[in-house]
Amino acid sequence: MREDSTPPPQASFSVLGLRKYREWTTLEQYDSDGREADMLLKNGSFYYEKRLVPGDLRVTGDTITAFSPQTVGGLIPFANEEVLELGGAAVIPAFLDIHTHGAVGVDVNAASAEDFEKLACFFARQGTGSFLCSILTDTEEQTERAIQAFLDWKKLPHAGADLLGIHLEGPFLSPKHKGAMPESLLRTPDYDLIAHYQEKAEGHIRYITLAPELPGAIELIPKLRALGIVTALGHSDADYRTTEQAIFAGARAATHTGNAMRAFDRHEPAIFGALLASEEVYCEMISDGLHLHPGSICLYLQAKGLDRAIAITDSIMAAGLPDGEYMLGVNEVVVKDGDARLKHGDARAGSTLTMARAFRNLRKFTGRPTAELVPLLSENAARLLGEDQRIGSLTPGKQADLLILKDDEIHRVMLRGAFCNFD
């Protein structure tokens, strides 16, 4: 069984209890050990200004309120302040996953409010502090139902990762590179449809994937921006020039780069080449070793730099569960050896990846130190979504969502200033 395998049945708890990468069978009810008071994290190695810096960090309520490098003396504990001695352990921001279709038996397209909470709790176990839920191309009725479930979740008290909003993967995609998208439900760009969805979502659609070569797609991009939606290019057969035009119009990301898009050719670099060449575009990467060869990941990082690459999971409901048969939207999916493919056809259908495993894979695939990989896992995605003033780094004034590492493995998780419990 995979190390991030099946979680226990959902339970009600104030702060999520975590178990470190091992199988579990029960989930006890935990009380929060976080305090609405000062907490000093002492003698750690904190991700600060693109590197790990020895020092101290103070959390007040749900906010990071101070950081001091040890070179300037560190922070002196307040009276009655809880002090956590870190002994040099590394501390990095919690992860941000902007592309996931589900996990632990939950498919976003069919999720209830309670299902979204189940996802939030599982993702927190994997070090994820925030995420977008990705709605696969579906009927208008089912898309609206998923949007409503998200709104219902927002009304509930919840623990675990924060669900920031909605990613629409489609329906304006190329049938030539549809991947797991149901071809019968693909459409040409339609502003009125997205405006309708955004009204239904009360402004919570944050991100959309479209194919720029479709009629009206490029003209749609600035209109989407006006609706508060970031455009990603993907599931596309676009040529190089068309992709450049889409980027000029305001597209700022690439959906699972190198997958479900026209391939690079030395005579026609196509969409793939234009995305790697652009200084404006953030490139999503599925770092599971299946969607991208490790060498491809290294190439992407050389092309994009460490500030324009984003690690995602593209996970489906099978993430955290054993091999078997699952659903992805309207699609039947078979998972074998952790590899998810359409039951009828050979196309990959998302992944079974978690952000914790993506972190480990990136270290293994690239050989880069943790500090260099942090932007891929949190900071870059926060900046793309315009959330970088609130989350994504350990800067004072930002929300206290952080991970304490031991030997480069997640040891403890703090969300909104409260530690999650370990056994």
Catalytic residues: 314
Place of tokens 């309520």: 61
- Beta-sheet pairing, 38-48 with 418-419: unpaired
| Radius of gyration of the chain, Cα coordinates, nearest whole angstrom | 21
Quote the CA–CA distance of 115 and 291 in Å, as a whole number. Answer: 27
Q: Taking each helix axis from N to C terminus, what angle separates 270-277 and 240-249, rounded to the nearest 10 degrees? A: 40
Helices within 327-379 (DSSP H only): 355-366, 370-374
Q: Which residues fall within 8 angstroms of residue 295, CB to CB, at 6 or more apart?
A: none
Alpha carbon 287 to chain centroid, angstroms:
12
CA distances from 25 to 15, 31, 330, 422 (A): 19, 19, 30, 15
CA distances from 131 to 91, 123, 127, 158, 244 (A): 20, 9, 11, 14, 28
Quote the CA–CA distance of 394 and 388 in Å, as a whole number. Answer: 11
Beta bridge partners of 409: 406
* Dihedral sign from CA coordinates of 114, 20, 370, 311: negative
Burial class (CB in 10 A: 0-12, 13-18, 19+), 44: buried
CA atoms within a 13 Å half-sphere pointing along the CA-CB vector of 320: 29
Q: Which residues fall within 8 angstroms of residue 95, CB to CB, at 6 or more apart?
A: 126, 127, 128, 129, 311, 355, 356, 359, 377, 378, 403
